Structure 1
Amino acid sequence: MSRSKQFTHDLASLWFQAPLVIALRTQAMMLAAATGSTRENAEMGRMIGEKAAAMVEGTLAAQQAMALQATRAMTQVALGRKPAALTPEPIAHAAMKPFAKRVRANTRRLTKT
């Protein structure tokens, strides 16, 4: 799958599956609160941990994508060539990819019967 198609796939994944994951987790937390169950404490901890890990991973990936583009541009300048235009799409895709991956995994896990 091309990079552009993968980016579109990840965006669509987040657009449709993130609200589903939020709804499923909210429903489970409400049921746990109503019944006094502590079973959902692990899910809440997992939810927070996943968000933190995805944020760090996405930030590092975006920084790496920016550095890669800057390095390519500087190499072109050093060779006396006109550098290619810097594009935000690879940076946005790198930043968003960890979130999309986790949302897809959570959707699969939470919709199992």
Structure 2
Amino acid sequence: MSRNPNPASFFHAPKTAAELTTLMLMSPFVIGTRLTQFSMAAASPQAKDRDEVSRMLSEKMQAAGESIVAMNLATIEAMTSLAMATVFGSGRSSNHGDTILSAGLKPYSQRVRANRKRLAQ
């Protein structure tokens, strides 16, 4: 018995793909710009250089916290949705994994977009 799987079922993650594409395209620019700034300021760092390091670290911590909260809320929403679909017998098909993962990636991609815009000036 041969099965003909739907190729779209293997990769049906448009939200996650958008967030990952943002990270993939913009992160190298942000990392390269910051490393260049840090290497130029290594001999005599100014206040703005120290502020950039501080900002970089605090943004990462904030993004991690927001990511954890967003993923937990998306998981609770997915579990509630599945429970309600089971109770009421509606066979609603949804890609909850995509929703949960994209919720976790969104804080990072928002910061990368903002940093790319700010550092490009």
Shared fold, TM over 0.5: yes
Structure 1 residue corresponding to 2:32, chosen from 7, 20, 23: 23
Is the contact made by 1:74 and 1:83 (CA closer than 8 Å) also made in structure 2?
no
Q: Does 1:42 align with 2:51?
A: yes
Amino acid at match of 2:53: M
Alignment deviations for residues 8-29 of structure 1 (CA, whole Å, 9 cap, x no partner) = 3321110011111011111111
Matches within 5 A, 1:74-89: 74-81=83-90, 84=93, 87-89=96-98
- Classify 1:106/1:85 alpha carbon distance in 2 versus 1 (closer, same or farther; 3 Å): closer
Deviation at 1:35, TM superposition (A): 3.6
Q: Which residue number in structure 1 is paired with residue 100 of structure 2?
A: 91
Gaps (5+ residues) in structure 2?
A: 1-12
Q: How many residues align?
A: 109
- Classify 1:10/1:33 alpha carbon distance in 2 versus 1 (closer, same or farther; 3 Å): same
- TM-score (ref. length: structure 2): 0.79
For the aligned residue pairs, the C-alpha RMSD in angstroms reads 1.9
Q: Which residue number in structure 2 is paired with residue 104 of structure 1?
A: 113
Q: Does 1:55 align with 2:64?
A: yes
* SS state at 1:55 partner: helix
Q: Which has the larger radius of gyration?
A: 2
Amino acid at match of 1:89: D
Mean Cα deviation higher: 11-20 or 42-51: 11-20
C-alpha separation between the residues in 2 aligned to 1:8 and 1:86? 13
Gaps (5+ residues) in structure 1?
A: none
Give every structure 1 segment of 4 or more consecutive aligned residues whose post-TM-superposition deviation is greater than 4 Å: 80-86
